[in-house]
Amino acid sequence: MERTIAPLLLLCWPMTAAFATDMVIHAGRLIDGTGRQPRSEVSIIVHDEKITQVQAGFVRPAGAEVIDLSKSTVLPGLIDTHKHMGSAQRRAGRGGAVAIERGPRTNLDAVLSATVPARQILEEGFTSVRSVGAADGIDLALKHAVDSGVIAGPRMWVSLEPLSPVGGHGDPTNALDPNLPFDPLRLAHSVVTGPVQVMEAVRDHHKRGADLIKIMPSGGVLSTGDNPHLQLMSNEEIKAAIDTAHALGMKVAAHAQGKEAIDNSLRLGIDSIEHGTFADEQSFALFKEHGAWLVPTIAVALETLDRANLGHVGRGGREGQGSRPVQGQDARCSIQSGCEDCVRHRRRPGAGPAGVRSAAQGRHGAHGHCGGRDPVGCRAHRGAGADWDDSGRSVRRYYRDLRRPPSGYRRA
């Protein structure tokens, strides 16, 4: 008999009137995420959204709602550790080319559109998402809507706008006519110059509700005019972001592809490196020395490489844009190098070089979040469908660590 797979409903959408106070889930097969062998025909007892026990056999406590998954495999909800909630939606064009929707769209359009992938992510089995960059607070609006039960979606930790240098990977005016007016407040939220502006922006993000800070110390691939090999933020700016965020009890993620930006960010105390494309053995030694996390985003690299090979990524970097040439084939070469590095050093999603704490994102290595312990005490949530990867335990440790206040931080 063919079995379906359902995530064990951990850590996601808030309790509503339809969510019974007491619940029992009849699981035909349970993968609990601790590394133990799967268990057959068990009952997962839930009280006030918390799993209180797992019993052998199918039991029916008095007054409890019964969720019948007796023909299914149940497992912990999955985690996407690198997501951009609220990014422009892609659509298929002529010949199957993929383009990003642009045009006369307001933030209201963007938020409404983002509710669709938010639900899709949940239905794929991802009950927690770390959103590392979205324009104009769209990710925060989604988080509030999910937390209040207005829409269905994963529980989110959001960074709001990434902090970028002028012309860097994250400057929203890249490739635009410089004579066009642009909202100065929006620029102030995302473009910074010098340590003082960085500190001010971090504090503003914290005031507005960000859970973490995202910075752009290196150039990127899918952006116009910057080079992924180069460090574009100064060490003083990087340190200002890290020190200010840590003082506020927040962790900092760095978009860093070039070795110089990776190594300097690690030396300055960054909490996670996103991508890490051109990291080498010296870089990996710094990861281990400082206890930082590597989020290799292998799925993004592979997908973008496929689009580049098909000619769907323009010379300016972004899909559908043919603005001033930047690196010629450098985007393709950078992605190819990153993919080859993933194969050489990581071999499977979530598996980094020896001793480096590595976490994955998306459908390639998405993971459950009961922390490698018995599921009793974890929060319960309804959901459906996803794949499981045995590297999940490293991502659960990563997720707990990046939600924990930095060392030395004291709550009042």
171 vs 17, which has greater pLDDT?
171
pTM higher than 0.85: no
Mean pLDDT for 5-27 is 59
| Residue boundaries of the structural domains of the chain | 4-75, 78-403
Q: Enumerate residues 6+ apart whose C-beta is below 8 A from 53.
A: 45, 376
Domain 4-75 identical in fold to domain 78-403? no
Mean pLDDT over each residue of the chain, to the nearest integer: 76
Residue 170: pLDDT band (50, 70, 90) is confident
Residue 404: pLDDT band (50, 70, 90) is low
Contact 337, 276 (CB under 8 A): no
Cα–Cα distance, 15 to 125 (Å, whole number): 18
Q: What is the pLDDT of residue 103?
A: 57
126-139: pLDDT as tens digits = 999 999 999 889 99
Residue 190 DSSP class: H
Of the chain, the percentage scoring pLDDT greater than 90 comes to: 47
Q: What is the pLDDT of residue 398?
A: 55
Contact 257, 331 (CB under 8 A): no
Residue 250: pLDDT band (50, 70, 90) is very high
151-161: pLDDT as tens digits = 999 999 999 99
Q: Is the pLDDT of residue 184 over 80?
A: no
CATH of domain 78-403: 3.20.20.140
Q: What is the pLDDT of residue 48?
A: 87
CATH of domain 4-75: 2.30.40.10
Contact 357, 397 (CB under 8 A): yes
Q: Is the pLDDT of residue 350 over 90?
A: no
Tokens of 206: 């914290």
